[in-house]
Amino acid sequence: MNFQLDAYDIAYSDLGQEILHKVGQDIYGEYVGQLSWMTIEEYRRFIARLAPTPESHVLEIGSGNGAAAVYLSTTTKARVTGLDNNESGLRLATALAKSKGLEGRVDFRFGDAARPLPFKDNSFDAVFANDTFSLIPERPTLLRECHRVLRPNGRLLFTDPMVLVGLVTSEEIAVRTWAGASCLTPVGENERMLEASGFEVVSCEDLTESVVLVARRQASAFEKYRDDIVNNLGQEAYDGLTSSTGMAQTLADQKRMIRVAYLARKAVTR
């Protein structure tokens, strides 16, 4: 069984979205539909660093229900293309863009980011991926693909919530990765892979505090809506969700597993 796709299938089902909309406000305060560790303050900072203009074309990898892509286009007027391998997420995303009157500015494609990206060379001004690269062990290929599809001087910003800086047991990893197959990254490896792919690393920001904050709020929200979640998704899902969130908080709090945002630039070759 592919647990990763099952978890996203649940999240992107009508029921999953209904529950997420109930808990979203409690977890993020300002909730735009994200399904990650990303707070809206953080997202505004990411967008400022990518600096898209109305003439820019941005690619979001792991666009899920389309909320982040729609927010980006609404706030900057940039054109955005989202790529995801979850059909239910793509359906939600397409419907969301349509409901906001953004057809033509925001579009979504089915695709596996572990494989060559279905876009021409030098097509995008920026590539963004939030909490998605940790789901893709083929990251060297993915980074080379991001480099290929970016225009010279184009920017890549991605977060990795699974950077390993301390000792973590196999049991802790199993609980933490309950929601799906993931790839843990030794500290320093993303920078090395970025440079090996032709990127210049501009900045690395430690965002572990967001995991602590969001996980703590998630725990309270799950408790508050316990009956709803158990009745709709089952006890096993409730237990898995709460244990995995608790483990994320512990590992982040103790700085054994950190979340980092990497900003890189496609250097111009002479």
Ligand X SMILES: C[S@@+](CC[C@H](N)C(=O)[O-])C[C@H]1O[C@@H](n2cnc3c(N)ncnc32)[C@H](O)[C@@H]1O
List interacting residues with ligand X (CB under 6 A): 8, 34-36, 38, 62-64, 68, 83-86, 89, 112-114, 130-132, 135-136
Distance in angstroms (rounded) separating the CA atoms of residues 217 and 211: 10
Distance in angstroms (rounded) separating the CA atoms of residues 36 and 214: 9
User: By C-beta, is 180 or 246 nearer to ligand X?
Assistant: 180
Q: In this structure, how many other beta carbons lie within 10 angstroms of the beta carbon of residue 182?
A: 17
Could you tell me the smallest distance in angstroms from the CB atom of residue 236 to ligand X? Answer: 21
Residue 267, phi-psi category: left (phi > 0), alpha (psi -120 to 50), beta (remainder): beta
User: By C-beta, is 16 or 64 nearer to ligand X?
Assistant: 64
User: By C-beta, is 230 or 233 nearer to ligand X?
Assistant: 233
Q: In this structure, how many other beta carbons lie within 10 angstroms of the beta carbon of residue 17?
A: 18
User: By C-beta, is 36 or 197 nearer to ligand X?
Assistant: 36
User: By C-beta, is 195 or 217 nearer to ligand X?
Assistant: 217
Could you tell me the smallest distance in angstroms from the CB atom of residue 134 to ligand X? Answer: 8
The answer to whether the CB of 151 falls within 8 A of the CB of 127 is no
Could you tell me the smallest distance in angstroms from the CB atom of residue 85 to ligand X? Answer: 4
Could you tell me the smallest distance in angstroms from the CB atom of residue 194 to ligand X? Answer: 19
Could you tell me the smallest distance in angstroms from the CB atom of residue 118 to ligand X? Answer: 11
DSSP string, 45-65: HHHHHH---TT-EEEEES-TT
